[in-house]
Structure 1
Amino acid sequence: MRRLLTRLGGLAAATMLTVGLAHPSQAADPAYFEFTDITHERAIVRIDDPAKIQHARDLLSGVTNERPHLIGRIVKRQAPYNPRWSFHYNPDTVDFFDAAIEVCDATLPYVEDHLDEAGGAFLPGLYWCPWTSRLTREVLAP
């Protein structure tokens, strides 16, 4: 269990370090992508980092199949581009992964239904990494 928590801490630290290293010169227009999970529900994620936008586009075009799943911190409020859900990914924290620990895995409906518990034992630190998440398409900006 300690090893598992250490890995979660390392993943969170790496994600925050990556976010912390972003420079204003990397700024670009955000891109929006629809994603789904095992429940076939759909949501929209906003991605601001140009390298991550390119990775998302590469996933959709089949250029890569590495790191196909989404990870990031959620914000417990609705976003204009994602009106169906009472939460959304913080665009500054969105990244991709191949494998992650169980403590951040949950489906879209489960997060919605248990949003009041998120940030405690459920989705510690508000990190969400749905293991079955996958991008389905790029969508127009709202």
Structure 2
Amino acid sequence: MRARALVVLAAGLLALTGCAADEPPADDVPAAPAVVTFEVADQGEFSVELRTDELVAHVVELQNGGEEGRIPVGTIVRDGDGGVNAPWSWHIDPETLEFADMTTEVCDGLPSYVEDGTLTSDTYCPWSATVVDLQPLG
């Protein structure tokens, strides 16, 4: 009986330790403004500026396996200045960035589709985007 209790206790401690290891320490989370980079369908990356701590916290939640609001959605600025999204010639207006659970198909696609004009929508919402990096702006 005592051995079983020790096994249960050890498993619980390992579970708690594992959970703590999955979450980045607060010191490693950048404050806004920050830059998030997404991988889309293993066929290209794009980056967006995060202007609020709430957006940064949401991205950290996605990095930790969160599924709610996983699709980035924002207005495409096609002015030849990729900014944080260089080398692309476009970027997402950071004031319009939000995250959704579902979107219409018309704004889904690869970053290269935005670049070459295949994606003609003014909004970009890549369904298969996953967070691959989060860094302070600068």
> TM-score under structure 2 normalisation?
0.69
Instruction: Tell me which of 59, 62, 66 is aligned to 1:59.
Output: 62
Take 1:79 and 1:103, find their aligned partners in 2: how far apart are those partners? Answer: 22
Partner of 1:23: none
- Quote how far apart the aligned CAs of 1:40 are: 2.7
Partner of 1:76: 78
SS at match of 2:83: coil
Larger CA Rg, structure 1 vs 2? 2
Letter in 2 for 1:66: E
Take 2:95 and 2:50, find their aligned partners in 1: how far apart are those partners? Answer: 8
Q: RMSD over aligned Cα, in angstroms?
A: 1.8
Q: Unpaired runs of 5+ in structure 2?
A: 1-30
Mapping for residues 7-86 of structure 1, pairs under 5 Å: 29-62=32-65, 64-77=66-79, 78-86=81-89
Take 2:71 and 2:43, find their aligned partners in 1: how far apart are those partners? Answer: 15
Letter in 2 for 1:72: G
Are the equivalent residues in 1 in contact too, given 2:84–2:91 (CA < 8 A)?
A: no
| Mean CA deviation greater in 91-100 or 132-141 | 132-141
Mapping for residues 99-110 of structure 1, pairs under 5 Å: 99-110=102-113
Instruction: Tell me which of 125, 132, 137 is aligned to 2:133.
Output: 137
Are the equivalent residues in 2 in contact too, given 1:43–1:82 (CA < 8 A)?
A: yes
**What is the CA deviation profile of residues 40-78 of structure 1, one whole-angstrom value per residue up to 9, with x for unaligned ones?**
31121111122222111111123x221111101011132
Letter in 1 for 2:84: Y
> TM-score under structure 1 normalisation?
0.68
Take 1:81 and 1:42, find their aligned partners in 2: how far apart are those partners? Answer: 12
Take 2:102 and 2:71, find their aligned partners in 1: how far apart are those partners? Answer: 8
Take 2:83 and 2:104, find their aligned partners in 1: how far apart are those partners? Answer: 30
Letter in 2 for 1:98: D
Identity of aligned residues (%): 29
- Quote how far apart the aligned CAs of 1:39 are: 4.2
Letter in 2 for 1:73: T
Letter in 1 for 2:67: N
Take 2:129 and 2:38, find their aligned partners in 1: how far apart are those partners? Answer: 7
